[in-house]
Amino acid sequence: MLQNDLILRAARGEKTERTPVWLMRQAGRVLPEYREVRAKMGGFIELVKTPEFAAEVTIQPVDILGVDAAIIFSDILVIPEAMGLPYKMIEAKGPWFENTIKNSSDIEKLHVVDGANDLAYVCDAIRLAKAALANRVPLIGFSGAPWTLLSYMIEGSGSKTFSKAKKFLYTEPKQAHLLLEKITQSIISYLKAQVHAGADMIQIFDSWAGVLSPEQYKEFSLQYIARICDEIHPLVPITVFAKDAHFIRKDLRNINCDTIGLDWTMDIAESRELIGENKTLQGNMDPCLLYADYDTIKKETEKMLRAFGPNRHIANLGHGLYPDTEVEKVKFFVETIKNFRF
């Protein structure tokens, strides 16, 4: 049905004619077309909650950048909000929660999300985006990982060290597990609703994976991600991106995911060795490479493609696009990948 299913085939480990490519944060930020729509809506959260326009900015990078997949325009914090913790997006600062989780009664009060109802606006945006894509490329759905969502719900905002959230793990491990359980159930319901609405593939973003020790990561993050994968992998391919968690690569090989995202600090050959041959790898160019001149971008991009090899690779950055990246450089990066042949 899909005219271009390269990314789905790569995720399943099938041979592809060329390496497929999409970019984290491709919808938004760097595109003037996105900034126009966002200005019209009055803000980021308003845009996330308006399916018609969320669908519009979802499709922009397919048209403008020529990527091999769309990713639904949304935010990882829609789940905490649907659980009972609303937030604001403060310009140049990031998310901010008025109420945070402090004790067991705060956890008890949290609602377990029914994805199709509580986050109907995301499902609606997925339906609209699918219709507008008209099977040109797959649509990726996503969620934050339980640990990353917990850390925002405790900290109330971003943090350099996430020491409040980590303190909670050390001082209240049982409460932490209760909270992770509620978040995990919410994520599973939400992701199933996304698949039901039309998402062809799912990505889990564990943005703050790198602040935990290997042991804590296994206890408070990996086991919950594994449960999500057990539920979603039978439905559609699922990608796990545990940013900065270099130490967990060898354990990710054992969970039910199809693709593993790498950041740019992770050596490609070493990662392949740690992860084995049975997973697709995604990534992992340093987003700052796109500040370089065209020759350097081409040289480094082709070097990356050769290091990953022709199969089981989905090209991407090792993190989201930075806001001040020139659109022409982004296009050139995408084209370099699409034009490359082994």
Residues annotated catalytic, as ranges? 25, 29, 38, 75, 152
Cα-based torsion angle of the residue sequence 270, 275, 279, 283 in order, rounded to the nearest 10 degrees = -40
Nearer Cβ to its own copies (160/341): 160
Q: Which of 163, 165, 164 is nearest to 148 (CA)?
A: 165
Residue 18 half-sphere exposure toward CB, CA atoms < 13 A: 14
**Sign of the torsion formed by the C-alpha atoms of 91, 95, 99 and 100:** negative
Find the shortest distance in angstroms from Cβ 53 to its own copies: 28
Which residues are within 8 A (CB) of 309 and not within 5 positions of it... i.e. 6 or more apart? 342
Nearer Cβ to its own copies (96/170): 170
Nearer Cβ to its own copies (230/267): 267
Task: Give CA–CA dist 228/340, Å, rounded.
Answer: 35
Q: Which residues bind its own copies (CB under 8 A)?
A: 158, 160-161, 163, 166-167, 169-171, 210, 212-214, 216, 244-247, 264-267, 270, 286-289, 291-293, 296, 319, 322, 324
Find the shortest distance in angstroms from Cβ 166 to its own copies: 4
Nearer Cβ to its own copies (173/276): 173
Find the shortest distance in angstroms from Cβ 160 to its own copies: 8
Measured in whole angstroms, the distance separating CA 111 from the mean position of its chain's CA atoms is 23
Find the shortest distance in angstroms from Cβ 196 to its own copies: 35
Task: Give CA–CA dist 74/202, Å, rounded.
Answer: 13
